Structure 1
Amino acid sequence: MGDQKSKENNPIENNNAASNTKASESAQTKKGGMDRRTFSKRAIQLGGLAAASSSVAASSFSTMQSNTFYDEYEYVIVGSGAGGGPLAANLAKAGYSVLVLEAGDNDPSDNTHDIPAWHPFASEDRKLSWDFFVNHYKDPQRQQQDSKYVPGKGILYPRSSTVGGCTTHHALITVYPHNNDFDKIAELTGDDSWDSANMRRYFERLERCEYVPRPLSANNNPSRHGFDGWLPTNKVDLGLLLEDPAILKIVLATLSRYGLDGALDRILSGNLALDINHWDVARGREGPFLVPMAANGRGRRESVREYLFDTQDKYPDRLHIRTNALATQVLFDGNRAIGVEFIEGQGLYRADPLHNNNANAGERKQVIARREVILAGGAFNSPQLLKLSGIGPADELRRHGITPRLNRPGVGENLQDRYEVGVVSELDDDLALLERCTWGEEGDPCLRRYRNRWWSRGPYATNGATLSVVKRSFEERLDPDLFIFGLPSEFRGYYPGYSESLKTVKNRFSWLVLKGHTNNSAGRVTLRSSDPQDTPEINFNYFDEGNDTNGDDLRSVVEGVKAARDIMDSSWTRDQITREVYPGDDKQSDQEIEEYVKNEAWGHHASCTNKMGSPEDPMAVVDSKFRVIGTENLRVVDASVFPYIPGFFIVVPIYMISEKASDEIIATAQGTTV
């Protein structure tokens, strides 16, 4: 499907011109659609809702051209990340007034999140972070076997709280899911719009591919890449391989192991693309691939935050972003969502490293949504907010003194994630690519190269992902379920201070084994209390505590560990390796590797806690159009809505459903269908 066809079918762009003549583009956008007297009357009519504060709130955005927040908007979106951010921008572009409530602050002015290689530091930046601590097991003895366990807390699960959400600190990896991920949703819901061929057009719409030549004809685009979207995608500068003999040997070993001996010249010249996001690969191809990243041609992170800012610059009266605004509940008239209650202040949520338990949370405020409320807080916070609003398992709500509005037992259930483990080798010598890098200290030569060159900007312009291998753990798997990729550092998961080790340890190389399409769906997100500033209880119920009763997930991860070891044991690499640090040379049998995996596995793609399904399914939370079942004017658009965890990396599927939800919501506003 060519670019021209995508544009012709894009309701966001097509709706914009017509929307400029709507009343909402005149008096409505000047005062949120009505004056204070009318707003107050309407608030009373909608069940006694108090009028929102009309005080002028100082914007934390240098780009924001208006610092006035209105009493009501057509759409109120909770969360500015991969689900909520593109949706907000798209609705504003289509001519609607939108308020985004973001619990975090604006992004900092330093380089932590802009420089691709610094993404580990961004994930521990106290100004950007929400630090959740989760349980992998109910059994405390089992849980404490993890070397990353923090006594009294659990396992660190980094999330982000700032404009752009987790897209400001993630590793920039941009990998398309498998076609079956969408075809299964189409089959489950009976909604053909989820068909994989149709869903690909959303990827084409959002992507701005900069590593594949633009096709000469819009009707001849076999790769089905997009070239005019808001998300730039690029590949790592492969010339850097020639600067580090040790990494080069590892890459050559990988190519040799998977039947690509002598292919390096073709890869460096661009004649062998190894393009994991090509349309053909989505059908289940295996082998070595390069790892695309969400960075622009200048080597800077660019995604949701920039899309929001750019849209806000163009439409300052339509798109407002209210930072330091923690949503406390959805407001209803009966079962119809009419607005959101929130509290304002910095560091209000207890996952925030800067949270002060003694700080005054300030007054509760309210904002009306004339059309819809959309939750986009992610797999932990969206189910929490639904429950705080009276939607969830009735017994759980009553235990916390919350009057059930709607008994939806699936809210917070079905929590899923990948399993990941690291295979870490210690090399005889420091990696040449990193030996001079001082990670931002004064006179850092790698930072100077990154800032001053317009070509070959060096290691800081990469996210570190050198090469990946996609394979099936066992032949009978429907799709490849292992994604194994190399990093020139030590990485074995998340724990407080993990990013600091990257600055000092320069003689280690890690293969990260990621198990996709996991079977376990037994995780849960439950309320800790009825306090909206509190974090929920999060338990993933790993492996033998979960519902993968056959142990397929565990065996698959073990196969991934053995595949990574196989590469490092090749004739290309074994003479430069001192020892295997993790799992360790003493763990050789399948049983020993299994125990290592059960102890040390982690994940960071939490999803599926408000699963999509048929309205007749008592465990479904949203329907195929993202609407919360049993309510009106309330949707969820984030990772929580997937019924099964998609692909290998979840951010691209979230971007795609954000684009799809944009079409669905605009169609509802126009009285049409998608």
Structure 2
Amino acid sequence: MLLGNMRVLFASLLFLTTPLVLAQLPQCSGTDDAEYDYVVVGAGAGGGPVAARLAENGYSVLVLDAGHDVHNLNSTIPLYFIRATEDPQLDLSYTLNEYPPDFPVKKDNQWYPRSRGLGGSTLHNAMVNVIAATRPDFDGLASMFNDPTWSRDSMQEIYKRIEHNLVLGLPLPLEHGFKGWLKVSLNPLLDALNPKYLDAQILALAAGLIAEAPPIVDLNSRVGDNAVGGTLVTYTIDENHNRSSVRERLLDVHDGNPGKLTFQLDTLVTRVLLCNNTEGVPTAYGVEYAPNAALPVALNFNGKSDLQTKTVKAKREVIVSAGVFQSPQLLMLSGIGDSTHLQEHGIDTIVNSPGIGQNLQDHDEIAVIWKMKQNFSLLDGCTFGSDPEQDPCLKAWRDEGRANIYSFGPAFQTFTYKSDPGYQDPDILTYIVPGYFEGFQGFPELGTSPSNRNAVTAINLKVRPSSRGSVRLTGSHPQDLLSIDKMHFQNERGPQDVRDLREAVKRSRKIMNNLLTKPFIKEEVFRANKRKAMRLLSSMFTRTFLVTMHVVRIPWVLMEMSMPF
């Protein structure tokens, strides 16, 4: 669910020691005629902040992106993230395969949305602001590159530079930043005297959750990085109860630094331009791009065509930050990748770099859903509509300081814990959400349906799973679809991932069945009337039943092991 916190890596040139240069390149002739110091491909969470910081420091920067600038209710109102994933102005509808062809469970062509345009996926993510349990990741990078600036402790300083924390009374203020561009806040305090908010059911839920685990002092501090317990979540929401995203950062820098930051939107970058420097090393000096061309996963795509391309040069660097899927595609189309794979599609190999498009990783998520005995009064009258005159909650958000239920981020409480006591760091994050979430496809309808106003979902997220997938070409045209394979549970530690997810389900059930909350629960629902169990004959999952359901970023999997849940 947590699109903004998605942990996906692919092996790039950094992971290779001695890439083999094959094709001949022209000699670099200088960049005196270049229009920009830097060319950045991608205006999302990676490219956007880099471009903004370069422009602030006086460099001229061109940012190219396949989307356009979108500013609407879905990209602005926090709780409308429910609608944002299927907003046709934002949506990139990728499909991927969860398992290999010979796996007993078929999960092919699964929908996996990303967002395009100025701000990228920061326009549609759930705004959850959590950097806990990342020490193994960052310290691992520091060790890999023998560079301490990648360490978790160093990242805290970078986080402080970015963060503009709006929370009053922080217990560890030295761990936070207060002058950055990314606004961070808690869900707003609502009028306790309003009868609408005096909901015994939600008060019991809140009290029960707080009592279920020791409190974590600060989830986004070095102290709380490997803490086990429960806490409130902060969100990337500003003081006016709007989403805080990379879009605002880019526009602020654009307006405050005239002539330094240029946007080339609705543009498909087709190739990185390369030449040999004086030492014979391939060097990027610009990109080739096609204006008004769309990605094949965008809703405005009208089929492949002969693209009319242009080129632009960079005096200093080309920065490829087009996302986990488009970045490897762009490199491979440019002749950087596994030479055998490139030859299959008639692409001349410039750098034989087999790691490009490999090592695809993501979190695993599994949900448990309960229906309470009554609807939550917080959502009374809310239609999640677009007309304030037809939706009293939208009207209140617009006219009454915006501090109402539409100002909220999704999670009521967050828990971190270790599914195995032997683990050094927490590996499970559990978000308790007062709403119905069984996957992103269809989420705008199911998540806002009046019939689901009494739902509570525990979203269990497994960090650092063992799965390793790939992004591969299907052709040499920039508008060819990609072949994306997640390869879930295929690593030797796959069975352990299954056990960890199973423990996460058990743990979330224990959390919800506390003494204060249990009397208000009507039933647990997990689409039980629709799920179809399949016995896996593979020795890897002996006596295991795997029940699958789609979630957009990862498979939703309910593992019913031989022992009782």
Give the TM-score, by structure 1 length: 0.71
1:426 matched residue in structure 2: 371
Amino acid at match of 1:181: D
Query: Which residue is equivalent to 1:17?
Result: none
Matched with 2:206 is 251
Relative to structure 1, the CA distance from residue 330 to residue 550 in structure 2 (aligned partners, 3 Å threshold; closer, same or farther) is closer
Is residue 2:166 matched to residue 1:210?
A: yes
Q: Classify the secondary structure of the residue corresponding to 2:466.
A: coil
Deviations 1:459-492 (A, max 9, x none): 1001221111111111111111111011122111
Contact (CA 8 Å) 1:207, 1:227: kept in 2 or not?
A: yes
Give 2:64's match in structure 1, choosing from 101, 104, 107: 101
User: What is the RMSD computed on CA atoms of the aligned residues?
Assistant: 2.9
Please state which structure has a larger fraction of its residues in helix: 1
Give the superposition deviation at 1:257.
2.1
Q: Does 1:573 align with 2:546?
A: no
**Who is 2:78 aligned against?**
116
- What whole-Å deviation, never above 9, does each CA across 1:543-571 have from its counterpart, x for those lacking one? 1xx21435221111111111111122222
Q: SS at 2:175's partner residue? A: coil
Q: Deviations over 1:512-557 (max 9, x none)?
A: 011112222x2011011111112311010011xx214352211111
Preserved CA contact (<8 Å) 2:166 2:178: yes
User: Unpaired segments of 5 or more residues in structure 1?
Assistant: 1-43, 52-69, 147-152, 216-220, 261-272, 607-674
1:558 lines up with 2:502 in the alignment: yes
Per-residue CA deviations over 1:395-421 (Å, capped at 9, x if unaligned) read 000000001100111001100000001
Corresponding pairs, count: 510
SS in 2 for 1:275: coil
- How far did residue 494 of structure 1 move? 2.4
- CA distance in 2 between partners of 1:473 and 1:315 (Å): 49
- Quick check: 1:536 aligned with 2:479? no
Q: Distance in 1 between matches of 2:27 and 2:113?
A: 42
Contact persistence 1:488–1:510 (CA under 8 A): yes
Q: Contact 1:223 / 1:278 at 8 angstroms: preserved in 2?
A: no
> How many angstroms apart in 2 are the aligned matches of 1:367 and 1:509?
51
Q: What residue is the counterpart of 2:96 in the other structure?
A: 134
Q: Structure 1's 253 and 82: CA in aligned 2 closer, same or farther, altered over 3 A?
A: same
Please name the residue that 2:18 is paired with: none
1:583/1:288 Cα in 2 relative to 1: closer, same or farther (>3 Å)? farther
Q: C-alpha separation between the residues in 1 aligned to 2:373 and 2:500?
A: 30
Give the deviation of 1:361 after TM superposition.
Answer: 6.0
Match in the other structure for 1:198: 154
Partner of residue 228, structure 1: 179
Match of 2:258 among 316, 337, 348: 316
Post-superposition shift, 1:196? 2.3
String of CA shifts for 1:60-87, please: whole Å, max 9, x gaps: xxxxxxxxxx962110000011110000
Q: Which residue of structure 1 aligns with residue 221 of structure 2? A: 278
Q: Is the 8 A contact 2:337 2:353 kept in 1?
A: yes
Which residue does the alignment assign to 1:343? Answer: 290
CA distance in 2, matches of 1:237, 1:48: 54
Structure-1 separation of matches of 2:247 and 2:84? 14
Q: Which residue of 2 aligns with 1:3?
A: none
Over 3 Å counting, the alpha-carbon distance change for 1:558 and 1:601 in structure 2 is: farther
Q: TM-score, normalised by structure 2?
A: 0.84
More strand by share: 2
1:404 and 2:404 correspond? no
Q: Is the 8 A contact 1:344 1:361 kept in 2?
A: no
Distance 1:236 1:605, change over 3 A: farther
Question: CA–CA distance in 1 between the matches of 2:554 and 2:35?
Answer: 34
SS of residue matched to 1:106: coil
**2: CA distance, partners of 1:136 / 1:343:** 32
1:419, 1:601 within 8 Å by CA — same for their partners in 2? Answer: no
Cα distance change of structure 1 residues 48 and 332 upon mapping to structure 2, 3 Å threshold: same
Matches within 5 A, 1:304-453: 304-334=246-276, 335-345=282-292, 348-357=294-303, 362-440=307-385, 441=387, 442-453=389-400
Q: Is the alpha carbon distance of 1:577 and 1:605 closer, same or farther for their aligned partners in structure 2, counting shifts above 3 Å?
A: closer
| Structure 2 residue identity aligned to 1:192 | P
**Does the 8 Å contact 2:254/2:261 carry over to 1?**
yes
Q: Which amino acid aligns with 2:470?
A: R
Distance 1:330 1:204 in 2: 33
Q: Secondary structure at the match of 2:289?
A: strand
* Alpha-carbon distance, 1:585 to partner: 9.9
Aligned partners of 2:34 and 2:314 also within 8 Å: no
Q: 1:223 to 1:143 in 2, by over 3 A?
A: farther
Cα gap change, 1:252 to 1:361, in 2 (>3 Å)? farther
* Contact 1:483-1:514 within 8 A present in 2 as well: yes
Alignment match, 2:553: 604
User: SS of the residue aligned with 1:281?
Assistant: coil
CA distance in 2, matches of 1:534, 1:450: 42
